[in-house]
Structures are given as structure tokens and as C-alpha cells.
Amino acid sequence: MLVYNPSVDVAELKRQVEYKFAPEPLLAVQGLANTFAFEPGEERLHDPQGAREWLLASGLAIADVHVGESEWRRLLEFRATIRNLIDANLEGDHARAAVELSSLVATHPVALAVGEHGTLGVDLAPVGSVDALIAQMLGIVSEAQIRGQWERLKVCASDDCRWAFYDSSRNRGGTWCKMETCGNKVNNRSYRRRLGASPA
């Protein structure tokens, strides 16, 4: 088994994700998904410089990584694809994300590393470009699917949240990132709708 890249700032990624962390290295994909801002002003990848700062702060890229306008847009497009794929884990509609993934896989070959016992795995070294990061994360997703971890990564069902969380429940039936907040909001709305629909 390959050792997870020690330069990745796991503590920083967990600070960003806040709770219900995916296992490493899937945590990095969860972290990227949650750079998305549902509320104005919360976007982490607001421009090329912001994207570069996020990569460096998270320990995912080397110090001289370049993020220009085109790289930034590719990263945003990849994040949208990843969020669609995660969302499909809850909604069950993988068709759209599968189409988007097909073109990404064709243009972003995954770099492999060899472990000390001859085992092959995704090269988890810090990347030198956005395209290398995309390839690396595609590899991480693939390995997570093989391990049965991927389908546990979901997007909160609350329309006011949409936070990516890792469902560690035994039956994999988690729907909300936090039952006491998002889950209760949805349940209360449903209850009020039922009351409104009931005859006086």
C-alpha cells in the first residue's frame, strides 16, 4: 500500500471540510468539492490567484504551480463534474457526470507510483499543474470506487446547504451533512407543507 503524500495538509483540509471527513486521500476530493460557495462570498476558488492559494494551503501543489485564467476555468469545470458525480451518489443519476468524466479521463492520464513491495497506486506527490491535479483526483476517485468508499461521499440533500459529506453510517443511508441542522430544516418544511395541505 502506498503512503499518502505527507506534504498534504490534512489538518487544513479537515478545517475546510469541518465534519464528516472522507478517508485520505479521498479527503482532498471532498475538500475540492467544498470550495464551492452556496452563499455569496464563500467561494474559495474565486479567481486564478485564489485557486493557487487554495492548492498551496492544502499542500496539493508544489510552490511554483502556475494557475492562469485557462487553468482556473478547467479547475472550476472539474469541480462541477466532481460535484455532479458526488450528487449522483444520493440522487442516483450518474449519466451526466459519466459523460463529463469520459472526456476528462481521455485527456488526463493518471500518474502511477510504485510502492516498496511492487504495488501500484496513484502518484500522490504534490502536483505541478492544474491538469496534473485533475489526473491525480481522477485516480483517487477510481481507487475510492474500488474500495467501496466513493458511494459514501454525498452532497447534502438540503437545498440551503449542498455540502459534500462522508456517510459513515452502517446502512449508507445518510442524507444530510448534519441531521440537527439540515435534516431538521427539511423535516420541518415537510411537516409545514403537510399541515398546509390538511383540511382546516
pLDDT (tens digit per residue) in 57-69: 999 999 999 999 9
What are the residue boundaries of the structural domains of the chain, listed by start? 10-197
Place 2 in a pLDDT band, splitting at 50, 70 and 90. Answer: very low
Place 185 in a pLDDT band, splitting at 50, 70 and 90. Answer: very low
Place 180 in a pLDDT band, splitting at 50, 70 and 90. Answer: low
Better-scored residue on pLDDT, 159 or 163: 163
Options 2.40.128, 1.10.3300, 1.10.3050, 1.50.10; CATH of 10-197: 1.10.3300
Residue 181: burial class (beta carbons within 10 Å; 0-12, 13-18, 19+): middle
